[in-house]
Amino acid sequence: MTQWCFGPSFIDRVYVATGGSCVPISQQSSILSGADNNDGDDLNLTIQQQQQHTLLLSQTFRQATCRQLGGQWSGGHDVSGHCVMLIHASLFLWEELSWVFYSIPAATQLKRSQPTAWRALLAVLTLLGLWWWMLVMTAIYFHGHYELVSGTFFGVFGWAILYLGLFPKLTTIGLPSQSL
């Protein structure tokens, strides 16, 4: 829905801005990989149809649309979306839980007086641990160093805009009350 309203995601925009584009998958690699070619119709395309298809792909700025049209991303810098999402969401949760680390007596009082809230806190800390593990696995198996650095930058940047820029200026948002 956001892409319908705001256009391609910022990751797709960065990819295109750094020289990436949608190109047709070569017919030979499609045959070797056993990809579905619509019963061989793609192999019988005329030169003009192939040129029109290539032109259509070159005007595509979303990765999902590129793949739907039978193309693939080529060139450009691919920001690690997993890294952006995991770091961004983790920083939000760490920020919301920061009162626990600054006020240990409040945390122990929460444990004694509100066991359900304490279990919810432990569940969130467990989720943060799982996200850390997912980030480590993403770094090891799926992305290169530059992709991870740019993903980390955008994850921290999104958090910083809100927690260091916007939220301090709003009068209705503040720290939780000390009466926990």
**pLDDT for the residue 31:** 36
Active site annotation includes 88:
no
Among candidate residues 77, 88, 143, 145, the one labeled active-site is 143
**pLDDT for the residue 40:** 52
The answer to whether the CB of 167 falls within 8 A of the CB of 173 is yes
**pLDDT for the residue 66:** 82
Q: Mean pLDDT by 10-residue block, N- to C-terminus, for the chain (180 residues)?
A: 74 88 66 48 65 73 83 87 93 88 84 91 95 94 91 94 87 62
Active site annotation includes 143:
yes
Among candidate residues 77, 82, 88, 145, the one labeled active-site is 82
Question: Cα 154 to the chain's mean position, in Å?
Answer: 9
| Claim: this prediction has a pTM higher than 0.85 | no
**pLDDT for the residue 70:** 83
Q: SS3 letters for the chain?
A: CHHHHHCCCHHHHHHHHCCCEEEECCHHHHHHHCCCCCCCHHHHCCHHHHHHHHHHHHCCCCHHHHHHCCEEEECCCCCCHHHHHHHHHHHHHHHHCHHHHHCHHHHHHHHHHCHHHHHHHHHHHHHHHHHHHHHHHHHHHCCCHHHHHHHHHHHHHHHHHHHHHHHHHCCCCCCCCCCC
Amino acid at 125: L
Q: Which two structure tokens, joined as six digits, stand for 18?
A: 């750094």
